[in-house]
Amino acid sequence: MSHMVRNVGAALMAVMIARSAGFAQSATEGLYKAKCQMCHGEKGMADSGAGKSMKVKPATDPDVKKMSEAQMIEAVKNGMGKMQPYQGKLTDAQIKDVVGYFRTFVK
Ligand code: HEC
């Protein structure tokens, strides 16, 4: 009997871990949608109205593709072209997460 209780506990733990991982993912996605998507587009293709009018490069542009993660973090922190600096507005962890999300569009 006590064996079964332990297994149920382990199963519950697994569900909780899966839930919190899923939450972290959607929080980053939400952050991107709220703060970045209007210029960079839903899939990083800069196909939104603001993205087009500011001539934001799509994530598939060679100039974007050659940037390292660190360079992108730098660009978001300190601003780049018409993009405002996000330092002080987002935490370092948020910037790293949201750049990681953006990089999933870089192919
Ligand atoms: C007001 C429009 C705007 C918003 C909002 C914006 N950006 Fe940008 N972003 C730009 C522009 C303009 C550049 C300059 C380079 C270019 O044309 O792509 C740029 C450059 C970048 C780059 C360097 C690679 C590239 O595409 O040139 C990254 C990475 C980036 N932005 C990520 C983000 C993230 C993450 C957010 C949300 C926290 C964000 N941006 C919000 C307009 C914007």
User: Which tens digit of pLDDT belongs to each residue from 17-43?
Assistant: 666 666 666 899 999 999 999 999 999
Please spell the DSSP secondary structure of 24-68, one letter per residue. HHHHHHHHHHHHTHHHH-TTSS--SHHHHHTTPPPTTSHHHHT--
Distances (CA, A) of 18 to 8, 11, 27, 77, 93: 15, 11, 14, 30, 20
Which atom number of ligand 1 is nearest to the Cα of residue 73? Answer: 29
The pLDDT-based confidence of 1 (bands split at 50, 70, 90) is: low
Distances (CA, A) of 74 to 23, 93, 95: 26, 13, 9
For the chain, domains (ranges, CATH) are 2-103 (1.10.760.10)
Distance 36 CA to ligand 1 centre (A): 7
In this structure, the residues whose C-beta lies within 6 A of any atom of ligand 1 are 35-36, 38-40, 50, 54-57, 64, 67, 72, 75-76, 80-83, 86, 98-99, 102
> Model-level pTM?
0.83
Tell me the pLDDT of the chain averaged across its residues.
Answer: 89
The residue nearest atom 32 of ligand 1, judged by CA position, is 76
